[in-house]
Amino acid sequence: MPAEVKERQYQGKVHQLSRDLMNAWMAQLARANETGEPTGAIMISGNCVELLRAFDIHPIFPEVTALQNAIRHQSLPLILKAEEVGYSSDSCADVKADMGLFLSGGMGPGTKMPYPTVTLCNYVGCNVYVKWFEHLAAATGSELFMLDVPFLRTSEPTAADVRYVVKQIEELIAVLERISKKKFDIDKLREILRYSVRAEEGYARSKDLCKGSPAPFDSYFDAINMMGPINVLRGTREAADFFDEAVKEFEGMVAEKVGPLSEERFRMVVEGPPPYPYYRSFRNLFTKWGAVAVASTYSTVGGIWEWGFRHDPARPLESIAEQMLTENLTNRSIVARYGQIKRYVEEWKADCLVIHSIKSCRLFSAGQGDMREYFTKELGVPTLLVESDLEDPRYYAEAQLRNRIDAFFESLEHKKLVAA
């Protein structure tokens, strides 16, 4: 029996820095609620947070709020509150947790979470976003702007797609000028995008370092430390500096050949969002097998930076449009995602694929059985598919998950022994 693998708790610095930055952002939102400074609700996927920053509008990310409540084990009462008014048990629990927060009086005057002044629906792939922001805008009385980003249904976006998105961004700028009472300053946007580029560079470099063995961090479970800064705080000096620090730390770990676990036995690619209500428990199911995620699709919902795309301060609006159209996971087809995962498996030298299928997000999960068919039968990549949810704790069945995960890694270990 191999020695038990332990988590090294290495991530102190990156984890702490990320936490400090996110707390500072939350404190800014609380202050905005008191001072009445403008705020803008926006979604994570393929977002254009830089545009809000260009007008000093504080970004609110309802998805982040919902997931923070989930990881703190506070999501279920909010979900139930939403179900009381008619939301179905079968619909996305992120939406229900957010609307439940509204219904419970957890946002708005007198709370730490302001109502948005503008609800900017960056409709980037996820159809539920449209419903979510329709409901949020109606509930809070905020102005709704629907930024309709055509789905990437051809190998490249069509010229018409780009024109349509740029046109809408121009229309959005007019709305933001009115709301913020500030004139659009393209040089300010360029400056913001320069910070974005630094953060994008750092995030991509961090992920690239996971090609080494052992990987310096778990690109699924630890990636959330970086997803806040890259998606929420992108475009700030603080986020850019954060990634400089992260890269420095990870490069040091690579040089010292240390990773997140005492031993890296299996390198896995993970597909699908994690179960936030049971984050630690779920992680432990893999830790004991020495399984480390060297790449994940979830870490690319906001943007895919590892293939080289960067915002271009010289073409600010066009490059924002391009990022929304092509350089994020959610605006690409599920089969395009197979290509992304295949590349991870090959270039990051993974032993297996783990699919965490969640009920809430059909964009991610609908059809993952086909994904499993493709990887197991056509590529011969050992693949495990397990189900729970990212927000709703009622769908997490630990015993069942443990059985499946243990059986999968036992078989993988056996294969390794035989091959050796």
Partner 1 sequence: MKVDQTIERCRELIAEPLGAIAERWKESHPGGRAVACFPVWSPAEVIHAGGMLPLGLLGAGATVELTHADSRFQSFVCSIAKSSLELGFQGLLKGVDGLVFSNICDVARNLSSIYKRNFPHFHVDYLHLAQNSTSGGVADYMADELRRLARGFEEAFGVRVTEPSLAKSIELYNAIRARIRGLYAFRIAEPQKLSTVELYQILRAATQAPPEEALSRLDDLAAELPAREGRPKDRIRVVVEGAFCEQPPLGLLEVLEEAGCYIVEDDLFLGWRWFTSDVPADGDPFRALGQSYVGRAVPSCTRHEGRESRAKGLIEKVRRSRADAVIFTPAKFCEPALFDFVPMRQGLEREGIPQLLVEFEEKMWTFERTRNEIETFVESMLFD
Q: Quick check: 369 binds partner 1 (CB under 8 A)?
A: yes
Which residue is it, tokens 């705020």? 39
Binding mask 133-172 for partner 1 (x = CB under 8 A): -xx-xx-----x-xxx-xx-xx---xxxx-xx--xx--x-
Question: Binding residue for partner 1 (CB under 8 A) from 25, 123, 217, 278?
Answer: 123
Question: Binding residue for partner 1 (CB under 8 A) from 14, 54, 95, 293?
Answer: 95
Nearest partner of 411 among 380, 372, 384, 392, judged by Cα: 384
Kindly tell me which of 86 and 380 has the beta carbon lying closer to partner 1.
86
Contact range with partner 1 by CB under 8 A, out of 199-207, 237-245, 273-281, 362-370? 362-370
Written as one string, the DSSP assignment of 178-198 is: HHHT----HHHHHHHHHHHHH
Angle separating helix axes 316-326 and 186-209, nearest 10 degrees: 40
Residue 186 neighbours by CB distance under 10 Å: 12
Question: How do 383-388 and 143-148 pair as beta strands?
Answer: unpaired
**Which stretch of DSSP H or E encloses residue 33?**
helix 12-35
Question: Binding residue for partner 1 (CB under 8 A) from 9, 35, 88, 155?
Answer: 88
Kindly tell me which of 21 and 353 has the beta carbon lying closer to partner 1.
353
CA distance 118 to 173: 12
Give, in order, the Cα–Cα distances in Å from 267 to each of 206, 211, 296, 307, 350: 16, 10, 11, 20, 5
Reading the block at residue 229, the tokens are: 């800064």
Contact range with partner 1 by CB under 8 A, out of 47-55, 61-69, 220-228, 330-338? 330-338
Q: Quick check: 131 binds partner 1 (CB under 8 A)?
A: yes
CA distance 35 to 23: 18
Q: Quick check: 118 binds partner 1 (CB under 8 A)?
A: no
Size of the chain in residues: 420
Shortest gap between Cβ of 342 and partner 1 (angstroms)? 13
Binding mask 373-412 for partner 1 (x = CB under 8 A): xx------------x-------------------------
Residues that bind partner 1 (CB under 8 A): 85-88, 90-92, 95, 123, 125-128, 130-131, 134-135, 137-138, 144, 146-148, 150-151, 153-154, 158-161, 163-164, 167-168, 171, 333-336, 338, 357, 359, 361-363, 365-370, 373-374, 387
